[in-house]
Amino acid sequence: MTKQKLLALLLIFSVSYSFSQDDLLKELQNETKQDLNYELPAFKAMQVGNLQSTKIADKGDFYLIVAHRFGPFSQGIDEFFGLDGANTKIQFVYSMWDGIQFGLSRDSFEKTYSGTAKISIKKQSKDFPLNLVGYGSLDIETASKSSVFPGIDFKDRVSITTQILASRRINKNLSLLIAPTFVRQNNLQQFQQTGDTNLNQFIIGLGGRLKISKRMSINADYALNLNRHSNSIYKDPFTVGLDIETGGHVFQLVFTNSNGSNDSGFLSRTQGQWFNDVAFGFNIVRVF
């Protein structure tokens, strides 16, 4: 190769390298501008514990979420303090557009199939104090038998949950969330048997995250039912846990009085009392 050709190739490489450096610098500048406009996410995982958080999958991200809830410690040594019996939910979440995600899951609690959607409404920034997200889920339980509930129809198996999730990152360590919630229960026969005939449930969800190290935080959530029937056997769900970030996934250890992980299940059909029927569980969140 002649010296002239070699010099020409070096010149072309230098120019292209300079352009690539300029492009990279522009990307970094854009990211910096975006960071200046918006606060960091209030929550690292899509759920505080049981309650939904304001985190949404980025465009093109695919998530696998495995939620496991053991039985209560109060079952004693015969059930190995709840470890012999458990409910498991497997969920897939995907985002096709910025600020929108969809999910499909199956929960062994009441053999429930679910479809979910989460949409970003507004992000916290120097000009706006909150992250606002709309969330909805449709749960179809398949455990009820016609021999127990004569005349049960498909619509009787369907429950609908809608929420407005509002969170704020108070400082670098503390984030808080409030979630006005409506749950529609359709299986009237089931609720009549339990003494609860209020199928329309109005609920206020509360949650928080306290960061205790670079990769760990303490999380808690509670759902206050505003119009549950006075004779109902169901209780308000309360969950406290520990989030551990490990590279590509978040591992959540939780203690809760709820067996179900689907929205209508844990929000309106929790039977355990916190101190008497608390159980261990975990969520594994993996992004691809």
> What CATH number should be reported for the domain holding residue 119?
2.40.160.40
Number of domains in the chain: 1
pTM here? Answer: 0.81
User: Domain for residue 20, yes or no?
Assistant: no
User: Domain for residue 128, yes or no?
Assistant: yes
User: Domain for residue 149, yes or no?
Assistant: yes
Strand partners, 222: 206, 238
pLDDT per position in the chain (288 positions), as tens? 554 444 344 443 343 434 344 444 444 444 444 455 778 888 989 999 999 999 999 999 999 999 989 877 666 666 655 566 788 999 999 999 999 999 999 999 889 999 999 999 999 999 999 999 999 999 998 887 776 777 777 888 899 999 999 999 999 999 999 999 999 987 655 555 555 666 789 999 999 999 999 899 999 999 999 988 777 888 999 999 999 988 767 899 999 999 889 999 999 889 888 888 888 999 999 888
Burial class of residue 33, CB neighbours in 10 A (0-12, 13-18, 19+): exposed
For 60, which DSSP code? T
CB 127 within 8 A of CB 95: no
User: Domain for residue 28, yes or no?
Assistant: no
Residue 155: φ, ψ to 5°:
-60, -25
Q: Which helix (H) or strand (E) holds 71?
A: strand 62-72
Range of the domain at 94: 38-287
User: Domain for residue 217, yes or no?
Assistant: yes
User: Domain for residue 71, yes or no?
Assistant: yes
